[in-house]
Amino acid sequence: MLETTAGQLNSSATRILRWLGVVDRRAGLTPARLSALSVLVFGGPTTLGRLAASEDVAGPTMTRIVDGLEALGLARRDAHPDDARAVLVSATADGDQLLRRAASARIATIDVALDRLSPDDRDALGRAGPAMLRLVDALAETVGRDRRA
């Protein structure tokens, strides 16, 4: 039972992300830039190192991603108030606006797709939402535990 559920969730997640990637490309950013911008918009200013760690990329890779976001006017670097060697990266107002439009486009697309389902399927997905969020937390704990090993 659990293996079947895990397989269905894996397949669904992969395919959902693939289709939402089509929507994301309309924002005009690479997936890496859009993802980093999302961390900045929803998580707030952070150091390059923390941003790289949250996106699971090397520091030089994140530097290039942030360079691209800066060139587009979507992010900026500021002096870190507590560490003269570090900088804080944050989203600009334009970056915030672009990311929120992209997120709204994703949500609107999902909403249209949900409307195509039966009421029973919509209800089942609505009831599953909180459990899915708990699954995300459990995955973070599981993967985090594996990374420390």
Predicted pLDDT at 112: 97
If DSSP codes are grouped into helix, strand and coil, which group holds residue 38? Answer: helix
Instruction: Annotate 46-110 with three-state secondary structure.
Output: EEHHHHHHHHCCCHHHHHHHHHHHHHCCCEEEEECCCCCCCEEEEECHHHHHHHHHHHHHHHHHH
Per-residue b or e along 88-112, where b marks 16 or more CB atoms closer than 10 Å to that residue's CB: bbbbbeebbebbeebbeebeebeee
In a domain, 143, yes or no: no
Q: Residue 115 and residue 93: Cα distance in Å, rounded?
A: 33
Amino acid at 38: S
DSSP bridge pairs for 76: 90
Residue 97 lies in a domain: yes
Residue 105 lies inside a defined structural domain of this protein: yes
Q: Answer yes or no: is 98 within a domain.
A: yes
Q: Residue 129: inside a domain, yes or no?
A: no
Q: Give CA–CA dist 62/80, Å, rounded.
A: 17
- The enclosing domain of 32 has a CATH number of 1.10.10.10
User: Which pLDDT score is estimated for 1?
Assistant: 82
Q: Please give the Cα distance from 32 to 60 (Å, whole number).
A: 13
For residue 144, the model assigns a pLDDT of 79
pLDDT per position as a tens digit, 20-34:
999 999 999 999 999
The reply to whether 16 falls in a domain is yes
Is position 147 within any domain?
A: no
Burial class (CB in 10 A: 0-12, 13-18, 19+), 70: middle
Output the pLDDT for position 149.
Answer: 37
pTM summary value: 0.84
Q: What is the pLDDT of residue 85?
A: 86
> What is the count of structural domains for the chain?
1
Domain coverage including residue 23: 10-116
Residue 149 domain-assigned? no
Q: Give pLDDT < 50 ranges for the chain.
A: 148-149
